[in-house]
């Protein structure tokens, strides 16, 4: 533990602003704060700032820290593997024991038919790989024009160019056009703010039927795949209605379109099942993974490839795609130990149970601006609205979720605002009942203060 003086902290913040370009961060906000929030240490579900303040990490980093901070056994296996074989390539037919063990482990876990596993360094790489696989699959069948990838609005699939072209969130495309061609989007499924003006339970799954409409619009001979996050993540922790993915699978099969599941966030227990698609009993043709595969202790991602897709590539003889760090030995060692911890400590079941408790306690706050508390397991969001009867949003320029997050920081929560005034609540899967009670208490006080500021309503 390092004790920093005020002078040292001030200099760190100045150096950060001088030298470090932050990913997906408001430079103006950081300047107004006098510099970034600097975290120096983590333990369990909590992190500590250089000022010595302790915060509950409500977002598990970026949805990824499933096993919590300070797991010495993960550091130990990383050290051991670094000393033994820190790296060797897996191009040109090379392998190593942990790559084989890890591929076998993941292949036996995921809900796919006889899959093969391709390794990456993270979610964007996994998404790019999946889209290339989908296009190559049809190319090898003499259908090069069957190349359109259909994604959804509010989707987040990463920021490399292929992944970015599937992503559809405000601001992510600005300044980066032209994007990769032949990416299309349909409306996302969100019953609370239904794009079709329907109510849950009294609709015809227009959100799923939109896929069929888009395929017919483009022509089925031009559509390679449909891709979706089982639960929309950065777009708001949005859970689709019952029957949605079963209908999506039917439509994909009807028009000979691959179904690609982006399990980068949902994989490895976050939703209260080991993988998100298990909630719907639907098997994808290709599956992307990252984040929870190592709980963020080291960068790693993976792609599951069904036998249907792999067979054509095998017959072709080579997949001309790869990353320098594919199946990195240290990443494999950490991932295997991380998955062992998830299984040994029953963290998937804990995510299911504690997620239900978290949502229940937040609803019990009964605060006037909480419109919807949604999620699965420990992948949740709180929707803030100005009027719960009409589901009227706050003026987006005011940003009440952003204000709640700022107040929450003062109250001991590291809380991330999502678009459209949502609040992300996806703590590490090790969270306890006592932790949740503390989190909800601090969250409630933060929302109350923000509402008084925005609406002038004493609570």
Q: What is the pLDDT of residues 49-98, one digit of tens each?
A: 999 999 999 999 999 999 999 999 999 999 999 999 999 999 999 999 99
Residue 459 clears pLDDT 50, i.e. is over it: no
CB 155 within 8 A of CB 169: yes
d(CA 150, CA 250): 15
Model confidence over 398-456: pLDDT tens digits?
689 999 999 999 999 999 999 999 999 999 999 999 999 999 999 999 999 999 998 77
Same CATH topology for 37-67+346-455 and 73-344: the answer is no
pLDDT class of 201 with cuts at 50, 70, 90: confident
Between vectors from CA 139 to CA 285 and to CA 142, what angle results, nearest 5°?
120
pLDDT class of 458 with cuts at 50, 70, 90: very low
The helix or strand, by DSSP H or E, that contains position 48, with its residue range, turns out to be: strand 46-49
Domain boundaries, the chain: 37-67+346-455, 73-344
Give the residue from 104, 121, 132 showing the smallest Cα distance to 301. Answer: 121
Angle between the 329-344 and 347-364 helix axes, to the nearest 10 degrees? 70
- What is the rounded average pLDDT of the residues 265-292? 98
Question: Radius of gyration over alpha carbons of the chain, in Å?
Answer: 22
CB 184 within 8 A of CB 151: yes
* Chain CA centroid to CA 10, Å: 33
Give the up-direction half-sphere exposure of residue 332: CA atoms within 13 A in the CB hemisphere.
27
Give the residue from 294, 278, 274, 316 showing the smallest Cα distance to 133. Answer: 316
How many angstroms separate the Cα of 433 from the Cα of each of 45, 156, 430, 436? 12, 30, 10, 5
- What is the rounded average pLDDT of the residues 191-202? 93
Kindly report the backbone phi and psi dihedral angles of residue 374, in degrees, each rounded to the nearest multiple of 5, phi listed first: -130, 160
d(CA 457, CA 459): 6
- Residue matched to tokens 């990443």: 331
DSSP 8-state assignment for residue 239: P
Residue 196 clears pLDDT 50, i.e. is over it: yes
Residues in the chain: 459
CATH code of 73-344, in short, is 3.40.640.10
**Pure H helices in 5-96:** 6-19, 27-33, 60-63, 72-85
Q: Indicate the average pLDDT of the chain.
A: 96
Residue 178: cis peptide before it, omega within 30 degrees of 0: yes
Kindly report the backbone phi and psi dihedral angles of residue 98, in degrees, each rounded to the nearest multiple of 5, phi listed first: -75, -30
- What is the rounded average pLDDT of the residues 248-257? 98
d(CA 164, CA 149): 12
CB 277 within 8 A of CB 261: yes
Q: 37-67+346-455 sits in which CATH class?
A: alpha beta
């Amino acid at each position: 533990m390092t004790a920093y003086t005020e002078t040292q902290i001030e200099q760190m913040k100045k150096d950060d602003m001088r030298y470090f370009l932050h990913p997906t961060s408001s430079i103006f906000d950081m300047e107004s704060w006098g510099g970034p929030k600097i975290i120096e240490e983590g333990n369990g579900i909590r992190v500590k700032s250089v000022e010595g303040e302790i915060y509950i990490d409500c977002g598990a980093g970026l949805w990824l820290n499933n096993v919590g901070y300070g797991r010495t056994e993960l550091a130990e296996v990383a050290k051991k593997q670094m000393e033994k074989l820190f790296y060797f390539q897996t191009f040109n037919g090379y392998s190593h024991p942990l790559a084989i063990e890890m591929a076998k482990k993941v292949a036996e876990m995921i809900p796919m038919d006889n899959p093969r596993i391709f390794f990456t360094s993270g979610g964007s790489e996994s998404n790019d790989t999946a889209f290339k696989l989908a296009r190559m699959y049809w190319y090898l069948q003499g259908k090069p024009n069957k190349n359109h990838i259909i994604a959804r609005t509010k989707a987040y699939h990463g920021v490399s160019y292929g992944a970015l072209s599937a992503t559809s969130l405000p601001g992510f495309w600005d300044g980066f056009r032209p994007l990769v061609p032949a990416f299309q989007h349909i409306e996302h499924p969100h019953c609370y703010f239904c794009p079709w003006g329907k109510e849950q339970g009294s609709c015809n799954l227009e959100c799923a039927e939109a896929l069929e409409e888009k395929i017919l619009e483009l022509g089925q001979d031009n559509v390679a795949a449909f891709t979706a996050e089982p639960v929309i993540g950065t777009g708001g922790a949005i859970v689709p209605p019952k029957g949605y993915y079963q209908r999506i699978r039917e439509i994909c099969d009807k028009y000979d379109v691959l179904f690609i599941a982006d399990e980068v966030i949902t994989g490895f227990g976050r939703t209260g099942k080991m993988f998100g698609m298990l909630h719907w009993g639907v098997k994808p043709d290709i599956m992307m993974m990252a984040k929870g595969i190592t709980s963020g202790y080291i960068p790693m991602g993976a792609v599951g490839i069904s036998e249907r897709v792999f067979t054509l590539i095998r017959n072709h003889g080579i997949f001309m795609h790869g990353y320098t760090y594919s199946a990195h030995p240290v990443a494999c060692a950490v991932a295997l130990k991380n998955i062992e911890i998830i299984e040994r400590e029953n963290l998937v079941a804990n995510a299911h149970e504690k997620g239900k408790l978290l949502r229940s306690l937040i609803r019990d706050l009964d605060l006037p601006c909480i419109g919807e508390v949604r999620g699965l397991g420990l992948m949740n969001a709180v929707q803030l609205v100005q009027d719960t009867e009409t589901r009227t949003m706050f003026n987006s320029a005011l940003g009440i979720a952003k204000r709640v997050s700022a107040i929450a920081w003062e109250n001991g929560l590291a809380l991330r605002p999502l678009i459209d005034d949502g609040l992300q609540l996806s703590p590490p899967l090790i969270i306890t009942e006592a932790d949740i009670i503390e989190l909800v208490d601090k969250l409630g006080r933060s929302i109350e203060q923000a509402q008084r500021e925005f609406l002038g309503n004493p609570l």
